[in-house]
Structure 1
């Protein structure tokens, strides 16, 4: 009997709209390859019953953000005994949390921008003035304030003055109980797609140039708001470094199938890993499909490869 695939998409996270687009693209790509395929929106109350009733042999995860990219749906599928695309429970949970990711990168001597974290309780105890001063003393301005378990730059603020810090921290607290302040690094933004399990390979790298100067949610998902340059306009020695760091990050976090690692190369030649994405976007403006095309892999072949990797 032919393999039947359920595309799990949508969901309840703040990235639902992106996931709906990714899921539709994956659905069409799998159909083009001749797979039997159904779409299942995990925001539906009966989505578990749908998974069971459809008798799928494999789940293709086109989810983004909480409850999809963070290990929760992966754990459910493990219990149900259904193989799925992408990383497992642990790698998904770790990569979704930017603070945990950065701590693991530091242990493996993978360079990542300096950071510090605060809870609401910290701010109540220390006071906003002291917290602001600590952030500035350690990281200097400008600084990036992040909600560590969100994707697609949701809950992120770029802070240029001390007066902007309280509002930025409050914005991130809307999404997480812990917020992260990270040193703002300027340079060339590079994203590296890593494809594979035990012997992963790097696809052509992409330089990201945003029309607004910041690669935020609007720039990521609005046609024409960002430019993807392949290959990046960097000397080969830096592309070798970014490729190596992306591979090391993929392996350090225990990723499988696919990851997209975001890095930045400064003018003075320092390279930093910013984060890793275990379920990167698959929309018309997404980076991974662009990288695959540059490698000669059309979208239907890319999603078919991910199915094959999930079954290894």
Structure 2
């Protein structure tokens, strides 16, 4: 059986640097486990790389943009190349918060009050006409973020009406649609879900305690800026509820292999924020911390995900 794995990292999104760091860590883990690893980027030579690697499995760790919106995964399906993670259609839905959050709410999962604001609507109707409506519907404080981005890029906490137009414009710098949603105070928690062939399982919840009080890009990827507690220091009934919510979100969106759901625990009750189909794998990322808290080895989990993808191709061929 081939042990070839192509770790796909980099890309052209705003999260390129994070993706490269994730890719290096996954690549090293798979090499340590005995795999033949090729590190590849999304360039004109990618198709040649895929064709040259015999019986290879792709392990995508592309964040944002084409890495999570399903486009590249659709190409891999077209080429018949097996890969770790959710398929193109489910990734596309999960990546777009303007689509995934209403679907999650429809499944009976608690979500913040939210409004999607396309740039064209904001421009044509004007900020003045919309600020009062958003303030009445969502209330302050609120969080403004791009509908299609990650790593907290373009996110702004807004505490008063005067701050809202600039926050929306900042979100537009990362995409055509801004999300304006209720800001929920509480304990920030992330739950990773992994399916190695026997059904999805929630790993221990990771509690996030940023020094600044806001889990922004700096807090996420700068060592020492955030305290991560794994397993989370919360009552068992709360962490059980977080696990149940992450599993419900994973199933509701039709995800497979791997996902990470971000939650806020308010007064002991979890509220869904968003889901990630290509979670970070850096030294300060949440999914590796959850794997370690589960007492599993990072390299072992990466290897099992590769084996799962390879077996899926065999099943499809039969």
Shorter chain as normaliser: what TM range? over 0.9
Tell me the CA shift for residue 298 of structure 1: 1.6
Tell me which residue corresponds to 2:315: none
Tell me which residue corresponds to 1:6: 6
Matches within 5 A, 1:205-220: 205-220=205-220
Matched, 1:80 2:79: yes
TM-score (ref. length: structure 1): 0.96
Tell me which residue corresponds to 1:34: 34
Q: Is the 8 A contact 2:2 2:56 kept in 1?
A: no
Matched, 1:296 2:295: yes
Q: Deviations over 1:165-211 (max 9, x none)?
A: 11111111111111110000000111101010561111111110001
Query: Whole-Å Cα distance in 2 between the matches of residues 169 and 107 of structure 1?
Result: 26
Q: Is the 8 A contact 2:242 2:263 kept in 1?
A: yes
Matches within 5 A, 1:282-293: 282-293=281-292
Which region of structure 1 is more displaced relative to structure 2, 282-291 or 125-134?
125-134
Tell me which residue corresponds to 1:17: 17
Query: Whole-Å Cα distance in 1 between the matches of residues 304 and 3 of structure 2?
Result: 14
Matched, 1:140 2:139: yes
Query: Whole-Å Cα distance in 2 between the matches of residues 55 and 13 of structure 1?
Result: 29
Query: Whole-Å Cα distance in 2 between the matches of residues 28 and 277 of structure 1?
Result: 22
Gaps of 5+ in 2: 313-318
Query: Whole-Å Cα distance in 2 between the matches of residues 233 and 204 of structure 1?
Result: 11
Tell me the CA shift for residue 12 of structure 1: 0.6
TM-score (ref. length: structure 2): 0.94
What RMSD over aligned residues (CA atoms) do the two structures have, in Å?
1.3
Q: How many residue pairs end up in the alignment?
A: 310
Which region of structure 1 is more displaced relative to structure 2, 190-199 or 9-18?
190-199
SS in 1 for 2:251: helix
Q: Is the 8 A contact 2:13 2:63 kept in 1?
A: yes
Q: Deviations over 1:266-289 (max 9, x none)?
A: 13x332110111110001111111
Tell me which residue corresponds to 1:52: 51
Tell me which residue corresponds to 2:91: 92
Matched, 1:108 2:99: no
Q: Deviations over 1:68-108 (max 9, x none)?
A: 11101101101111000011111111111111110111111
Tell me the CA shift for residue 234 of structure 1: 1.9
Tell me the CA shift for residue 3 of structure 1: 2.5
Q: Is the 8 A contact 1:40 1:51 kept in 2?
A: no
Gaps of 5+ in 1: none
Q: Is the 8 A contact 2:194 2:202 kept in 1?
A: yes
Moved over 6 A (4+): none
